[in-house]
């Protein structure tokens, strides 16, 4: 990348040597080097380096960067000059195991020149007695949820189109659960976790597809959350619906839509949608409470809920309802609201 200024080539930096992919275990420390060159015609003052990431996912507390020759944070670079940075990455043992997308970003103090290169940091799980037990609990939950899903599918398959297709999908999910359990029993915990994550994704899609294929919609929804210590988050909804005069319990995984997507095209969600967010404010009105909620990207939406609730500011909630528009501003009329009482936690 290059900078502006008096001319295209006056101010320019290039990252010439860097790691594009880094793989580290939770709690590990690693030293890597990044080389930056001033390829512009002018000198640059206080050239520094950072790792940028969306929502600061790669936390700035996870690394220290300094100039290899001086130990300082920045370096003045004449035209044609190069600097090597020592990047010491110190991962906490509580860091969530996944692949993080980041950017090596070098710039001078006045941002006359900026250079960027993409990088991925993959954090692998360290298996301890605590995390192994948590994985076992998650697997046990998945096995129970699947058994309930299978049982309740038999109750409603008369109202579902393409039954054989869904039965094939159920068999496939069951096979993945068994593979996950076999991997766990043999000590292959990474594979067991990967397959468990796949199962939760597949069940989520299965239920979403069922909702489309069904002619009967659940009348009421109660959402609960199963959360493991190692970041497997299984969102499970239990819908109790009147069907042919009787009641059945339907285990559901709900796809949560982003508030930004709803605001971009509110008409698309006039028939109903599910959202999640943190409560920023609560206003009492004649038609119930109005919650201002914000999701992880910072997008906000007002949600009106007419029923009694003990929800407070700061709570993380999931809501379901229809999207309406008032004076060109979308809002939700919610019929379902639940607090997520078990938040994801991490242990050392």
58 and 135 belong to one structural domain: no
Per-range mean pLDDT, top range of 12-21, 120-129, 160-169:
12-21
Q: 236-251: buried (b, 16+ CB within 10 Å) or exposed (e) per residue?
A: bbebebebeeeebebb
Asked whether the predicted pLDDT for residue 188 surpasses 90, the reply is yes
What's the whole-number mean pLDDT along residues 81-94? 96
Domain boundary among 92, 124, 156: 124
Alpha carbon 220 to its chain's center: 27
Between 258 and 158, residue with greater pLDDT: 258
Query: Dihedral angle at the C-alpha atoms of 21, 200, 206, 182, nearest 10 degrees?
Result: 100
Query: What is the model's pLDDT at position 278?
Result: 87
18 and 117 belong to one structural domain: yes
Query: What is the model's pLDDT at position 156?
Result: 66
Q: Is 240 domain-assigned?
A: no
**Structural domain count, the chain:** 3
Asked whether the predicted pLDDT for residue 179 surpasses 70, the reply is yes
Between 8 and 167, residue with greater pLDDT: 167
3-state secondary structure 271-290: CCEEEEEEEEEEEEECCEEE
CB proximity list for 221: less than 8 A, separation 6 or greater = 237, 238, 239, 252, 320, 336
User: Lowest-confidence range among 7-21, 46-60, 129-143?
Assistant: 129-143
Query: What is the model's pLDDT at position 337?
Result: 83
Domain boundary among 94, 124, 154: 124
Q: Cα separations (Å) of 326 from 96, 309, 330?
A: 41, 24, 6
113 and 143 belong to one structural domain: no
Query: What is the model's pLDDT at position 45?
Result: 98
Domain hosting 304: range is 259-339
């Amino acid at each position: 990348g290059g900078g502006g200024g008096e001319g295209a080539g006056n101010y320019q930096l290039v990252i010439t040597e860097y790691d594009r992919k880094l793989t580290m275990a939770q709690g590990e420390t690693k030293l890597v080097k990044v080389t930056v060159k001033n390829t512009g015609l002018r000198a640059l003052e206080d050239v520094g380096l950072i790792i940028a990431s969306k929502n600061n996912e790669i936390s700035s507390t996870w690394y220290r960067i300094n100039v290899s020759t001086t130990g300082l944070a920045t370096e003045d670079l004449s035209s044609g000059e190069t600097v090597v940075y020592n990047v010491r990455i110190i991962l906490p043992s509580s860091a969530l195991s996944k692949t993080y997308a980041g950017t090596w970003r070098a710039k001078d103090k006045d941002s006359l020149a900026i250079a960027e290169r993409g990088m991925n940091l993959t954090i692998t799980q360290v298996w301890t007695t605590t995390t192994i037990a948590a994985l076992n609990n998650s697997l046990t939950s998945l096995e129970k949820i699947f058994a309930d899903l299978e049982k309740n599918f038999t109750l409603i398959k008369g109202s579902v189109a393409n039954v054989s297709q869904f039965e094939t999908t159920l068999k496939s999910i069951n096979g993945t659960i068994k593979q996950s359990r076999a991997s766990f029993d043999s000590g292959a915990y990474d594979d067991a976790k990967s397959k468990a994550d796949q199962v939760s994704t597949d069940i989520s899609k299965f239920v979403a597809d069922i909702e489309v294929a069904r002619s009967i919609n659940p009348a009421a929804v109660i959402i609960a959350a199963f959360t493991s210590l190692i970041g497997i988050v299984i969102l499970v909804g239990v819908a109790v619906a009147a069907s042919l005069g009787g009641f059945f319990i339907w285990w559901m995984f709900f796809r949560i839509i982003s508030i930004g997507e709803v605001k971009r095209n509110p008409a698309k969600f006039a028939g109903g949608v599910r959202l999640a967010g943190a409560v920023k404010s609560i206003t009492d009105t004649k038609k119930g409470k109005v919650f201002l909620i914000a999701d992880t990207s910072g997008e906000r939406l007002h949600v009106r809920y007419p029923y009694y609730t003990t929800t407070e500011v700061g709570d993380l909630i999931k809501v379901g309802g229809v999207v309406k528009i008032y004076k060109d501003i979308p809002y939700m009329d919610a019929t379902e609201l639940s607090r997520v009482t078990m938040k994801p936690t991490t242990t050392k």
